[in-house]
Structure 1
């Protein structure tokens, strides 16, 4: 019997079992989580990060970036917060005081959600928003601004014609047309992506975007690889990239996915995945099942999203 230790649950799983007879009991242990599932399980639906308890202000602090963020969000702490006070009273507390907890955790296992595929998708979405803002000359983070939306539509059309990349086009099934492969190719600057995406942006901002693209591309490829990683060097690169973004674009929002990539990915690799990239924890297999999940969700009587997801999984 071969056994492996799952890095996210720290439980021993049976990999192969050869039997000559008798009864078999199979325990199915959760091992892969995307961000939505992590939020459902750990109760931190309003948190800036599912791995640490840093606030919105702290994840934009250069001092915090330099000192590093600790993976310190525990399921037991979230459950204890609910047990200590009345639930209705608890939810009326400021988000910072309740550490972003929005509902009682539905799991007793600490969730270390790696989400390497969603790192590509969500960080690419952030990068495109940065391009849209700079193209519009709107240096206040407001994705719904009319000028930003106009730039988005124009750049989207240019990329479709010049690069054959269907980027950020809303899908009838929910989400957008951006796929993992599109995000990878754009970060690798295939088909002169950056040239066309930044064609109307001034040279100084274009150079900043080019450097950020290079840094993020390297970090994302390390995360999505299956190779042994020099985690100390990766930490230096992540912190340098994080600080560079905060210094050059202080008005830009730091999304949870960007924060997670640059603050925690090297720790997950080093401490939870034996120093290897997170290719083995990619949620691409989960994404392939999305259409089936949607079908099941439609026939369930419960309309609330969280309960529907709970019933499915």
Structure 2
């Protein structure tokens, strides 16, 4: 929601973080609510600070060099079958990062000293943590988008029998570039999906991999067409991988109670399948969190899935944020601009204003 030119502005960042942290602490101490008739109610509540993208989470947590901002495992461990069986429990908290920062600052006499191969000691901490909020969350929509992007990379390589994750820009990478074109055309013809392409001229950048297409890709109707895109020796692996990822993503995006033991079985099975059958691939942060942390995050949520915490509603608000920033805010400095945009959003969410807005919108005169 911040202006791109203001993402690194310390004034804007401090304004947002200090305001949200203060509001979170105030709400956490709130035990009683009195209504307009003077009746007092005792309340119990939990605050979930979830709707942030990975780039923002890394900046706010100070873990710019961490492979995972939820656990302390290295990315190489994510493909280790023995460690997959043991699991990757959530070990990072905001307080532990703050404590580690104070230790590193003391050792470095006011600065964080970065050395090669010091991950076990520094744990990927590169800057001072800016918030007291734990970064324990999965963004549902971005999980679909990023898992699809990763899965398409796997399909391209399985189509060309190219067992190397790095796409070389030399002649050696030509099979991957040809496979991309062939696979995208096959999926377009059989499923109608236009995937992994630059968005049209009327868009605001990005690719054609959006939430609707991602969900269609992982539906059972697309399964056979996806498997048909790869070489024969990979069909069994892709068949199982597509089914499992489809189930896992749908469970995460639901709002129902989950059998965590069964979900753990399928996530572990999928992780081992990748490690044993596709040892040349590399897992990104999103698929690591989906496979290795989703069960624990659901357990933290009292065994209820986390679809209700999806960022889709927030994403749909982007057009209003963009309009308010561009047309209805002061431009003297980023802080005033952000304050004006937030004021407009607060007014827009006022129930009384919404009531009159719907009333006039449905009026036959309009």
Query: TM (normalized to structure 1)?
Result: 0.80
SS of the aligned residue for 1:100 comes to: coil
Q: Which consecutive unaligned segments of at least 5 residues does structure 2 have?
A: 1-23, 39-46, 343-366
Q: Determine the structure 1 residue equivalent to 2:316.
A: 288
Residue of 143, 162, 168 corresponding to 2:196: 168
Query: Is 287-296 or 256-265 further displaced after alignment?
Result: 287-296
**Higher Rg of the two aligned structures:** 2
Distance 1:283 1:252, change over 3 A: same
1:199-253 superposed Cα distances (whole Å, 9 cap, x missing partner): 4532231221011101111111111111111111211111111111110000111
Q: Determine the structure 1 residue equivalent to 2:95.
A: 76
Distance in 1 of aligned mates of 2:332 and 2:164:
42
Q: Which consecutive unaligned segments of at least 5 residues does structure 1 have?
A: 1-7, 22-27, 303-307
Q: Determine the structure 2 residue equivalent to 1:25.
A: none
Q: Determine the structure 2 residue equivalent to 1:49.
A: 68
1:46 and 1:102 in contact (8 A); partners too: yes
2:65 and 2:124 in contact (8 A); partners too: yes
1:141 and 1:253 in contact (8 A); partners too: yes
1:89-131 superposed Cα distances (whole Å, 9 cap, x missing partner): 4345646242222322221121212212222111111111100
Q: Determine the structure 1 residue equivalent to 2:36.
A: 19
Bigger fraction of residues in helix:
2
Residue of 203, 206, 211 corresponding to 2:235: 206
2:195 and 2:209 in contact (8 A); partners too: yes
1:129 and 1:143 in contact (8 A); partners too: no
2:50 and 2:139 in contact (8 A); partners too: no
Q: Determine the structure 2 residue equivalent to 1:5.
A: none
Distance in 2 of aligned mates of 1:270 and 1:31:
16
Indicate whether 1:66 and 2:66 are aligned. Answer: no
Matches within 5 A, 1:266-285: 266-271=295-300, 273-285=301-313
Q: Determine the structure 2 residue equivalent to 1:112.
A: 136
Indicate whether 1:235 and 2:280 are aligned. Answer: no
Query: TM (normalized to structure 2)?
Result: 0.70
SS of the aligned residue for 2:75 comes to: coil
1:35 and 1:113 in contact (8 A); partners too: no
Shift of 1:71: 0.3
SS of the aligned residue for 2:293 comes to: helix
Query: Is 136-145 or 247-256 further displaced after alignment?
Result: 136-145
Distance in 2 of aligned mates of 1:98 and 1:294:
38
Indicate whether 1:184 and 2:207 are aligned. Answer: no
Distance in 1 of aligned mates of 2:332 and 2:188:
38
Indicate whether 1:90 and 2:113 are aligned. Answer: yes
- CA RMSD in angstroms comes to 3.3
2:66 and 2:124 in contact (8 A); partners too: yes
1:38 and 1:113 in contact (8 A); partners too: no
Q: Determine the structure 1 residue equivalent to 2:184.
A: 156
2:252 and 2:294 in contact (8 A); partners too: yes
Distance in 1 of aligned mates of 2:144 and 2:33:
32
